[in-house]
Structure 1
Amino acid sequence: MALPAVALVVVAALTACGAGTGTTTRDVPAATVPAAGAPGTANTAQGRAGAGTRTRLPTRIPGLGPRTLAWIPGDARQVLVVTGRARDANRSEAVLYEHTGSGWEAGPAWPARNALKGWTDDHWAGDLRSPIGVFTLTGAGGLLPDPGTELPYDRSDAFSVSGTGFEGEPLEGSFDYVIAIDYNREPGTTPLDLTRPLGADRGGGIWLHVDHEGPTQGCVSLQERHMEELLRALDPDRHPVVVMGDTASLSK
């Protein structure tokens, strides 16, 4: 018997979350992409000065090498940097950098998780690795009502999920809040959109979503309160992007 339409969407989303493929500025020759480091960069969350101390904001985002900086569009004024501990690790850290006009200011460092087997710069469906690269953030959604984001937000029961993850942890609530990472998808559409410009064999459905206390299939997960903060912070007029990968890859 055929599955209901909603069930089909959820199954597709679960399969996709971690098997993405996609279009990313890293596929464009650096010479055609304005260097994001030119306007400025932010200090790390750990390196920010304490209360009452004034410091000059850095002009380049720390930890990112020239190749990675060249992937970032020149008009991006919000950059979420997700840094993996190692190439094969599934723990990472996320920091939102915002350009103030004089440099990049870092937000707090949030614990994050990525795919079970770590990272890859050649992502294929089912490889259980998160894609390395720079991707725009243009659409959001979730099972819960819009928490106050300026991104287009699709509240739908199709974000319901059940079952268990790789470590036996419950998956329920993982898609309460979701931000689509524009990797092999049509930018600006709902995260539930199944269009895959590069073909299904390259995967898709790479999201930022709520942490379920275990590694993902390819997405990046944050604690629920941090997802809420991120959703409220992102501003389409500031052209937000996510820069994601292991430390060594991002430093190139």
Structure 2
Amino acid sequence: MHIAGAVRVVVSAAACGVLLTTLTSCGDGNDPQKDGADSSTAAEGGRSKAPTTDLKRIPDVGDRLRSKIPAESRQVVAVYGEGKNSPDSTVVLYTKSGSTWDRKAAWKGHNGKKGWTTDHHEDDKRSPVGVFTLSDAAGVLPDPGARLPYTQTASIQAPHYWAKAAWHDFDYVIAIDYNRVKGTPPNDPTRPQGQSKGGSIWLHMDHGSGTSACVSVSKQAMEHILRTLDPKQHPVIVMGDRADLRA
């Protein structure tokens, strides 16, 4: 992890799928979500009484995406989008013990304000469907006890010409390894697949509405996830609308 590289990242680095130098925000300016608390009844597939322990596989994730989860991964953040064109989602944390999975926590969340896509491009306002590793974290706030390499930096702070509801979006972030270089701070602007494929897709704090392409959850959820994800467990995120996830 090139922690020292954080000081070389300029304030105009990409954030949440758009450049901080643009007028585009991660949200649409709606009021922030008021509850923001862990959802003890939220469940994969919308089933509040679904089994939560000794699961043979991640629920409602079909063979296509399940085959892309690395065999060594023992921590999965699953993002169940409510619909192809919906900004609403449920975020569930699973951990593997032996050969089975346990659901550890679930939260209300948001994704791209226009929903999901299997062919993400810059500024399409849709989150990319897929399986991505989780390697690097950062935030405006001090390290809350993250196990992933964490860079505290003011360079990712949301500008105050954005809607006030979004000012704290990047207090905590985890880079989703889509079109980025692992081992660099989340706001490193390098995009191996090119600028047109978008980038800087993050898991970050929620402001109560859809994002430009990121996934967002409450501050409490971010703290819990940061303190739980362990590089030694090879964490990944599996994300998409329910139909694509089941395919």
Q: Same fold (TM over 0.5)?
A: yes
Quick one: distance in 2 between partners of 1:122 and 1:16? 20
SS in 2 for 1:217: coil
1:226 alignment partner AA: A
Query: Contact between 1:211 and 1:223, CA under 8 Å: does it hold in 2?
Result: yes
- Among 31, 36, 46, the alignment partner of 2:48 is 46
Quick one: distance in 1 between partners of 2:192 and 2:94? 29
SS in 2 for 1:109: strand
- Among 170, 181, 185, the alignment partner of 1:186 is 181
Quick one: distance in 2 between partners of 1:147 and 1:48? 31
CA-atom RMSD in angstroms: 2.2
SS in 2 for 1:135: strand
- Higher gyration radius (CA): 1
Match of 2:153 in 1: 156
Quick one: distance in 1 between partners of 2:161 and 2:54? 43
SS in 1 for 2:120: coil
Quick one: distance in 2 between partners of 1:156 and 1:201? 26
2:59 alignment partner AA: P
Quick one: distance in 1 between partners of 2:133 and 2:49? 26
Quick one: distance in 2 between partners of 1:16 and 1:47? 42
TM-score, normalization: structure 2?
Answer: 0.82
Q: Where do 1:56-95 residues align within 5 Å?
A: 57-95=54-92
TM-score, normalization: structure 1?
Answer: 0.80
Quick one: distance in 2 between partners of 1:177 and 1:135? 19
1:123 alignment partner AA: H
- Using CA pairs under 8 Å that are at least 6 residues apart, name the structure with larger relative contact order, 1 or 2: 2
Aligned residues between the structures:
216
Match of 1:38 in 2: none
SS in 2 for 1:8: coil
Match of 1:214 in 2: 209
Quick one: distance in 2 between partners of 1:63 and 1:164? 40
Quick one: distance in 2 between partners of 1:109 and 1:240? 16
Question: CA offset at residue 7 of structure 1?
Answer: 3.3
Question: CA offset at residue 169 of structure 1?
Answer: 5.4
1:46 alignment partner AA: S
Q: Are residues 187 and 47 of structure 1, via their aligned partners in 2, closer, same or farther at CA, if it must alter by over 3 Å?
A: farther
Question: CA offset at residue 46 of structure 1?
Answer: 3.4
Question: CA offset at residue 164 of structure 1?
Answer: 6.5
**Deviation string for 1:28-76 (max 9, x for gaps)?**
xxxxxxxxxxxxxxx9583466xxxxx9612111101111111111111
Match of 1:8 in 2: 12
Match of 1:109 in 2: 106
Question: CA offset at residue 170 of structure 1?
Answer: 2.3
**Deviation string for 1:157-183 (max 9, x for gaps)?**
112113476xx5521111000000000
Query: Contact between 2:134 and 2:177, CA under 8 Å: does it hold in 1?
Result: yes
Q: Are residues 164 and 215 of structure 1, via their aligned partners in 2, closer, same or farther at CA, if it must alter by over 3 Å?
A: farther
The runs of 5 or more residues in structure 1 that have no matched partner are 19-42, 50-54
Match of 1:240 in 2: 235
SS in 1 for 2:220: helix
SS in 2 for 1:170: helix
- Among 193, 200, 210, the alignment partner of 1:205 is 200
**Deviation string for 1:88-111 (max 9, x for gaps)?**
000000001100114100022200
Quick one: distance in 1 between partners of 2:235 and 2:119? 23
- Among 171, 174, 177, the alignment partner of 2:172 is 177
SS in 2 for 1:218: coil
1:181 alignment partner AA: I
Structure 1 stretches of at least 4 aligned residues deviating more than 2 Å after TM superposition: 43-49, 162-165
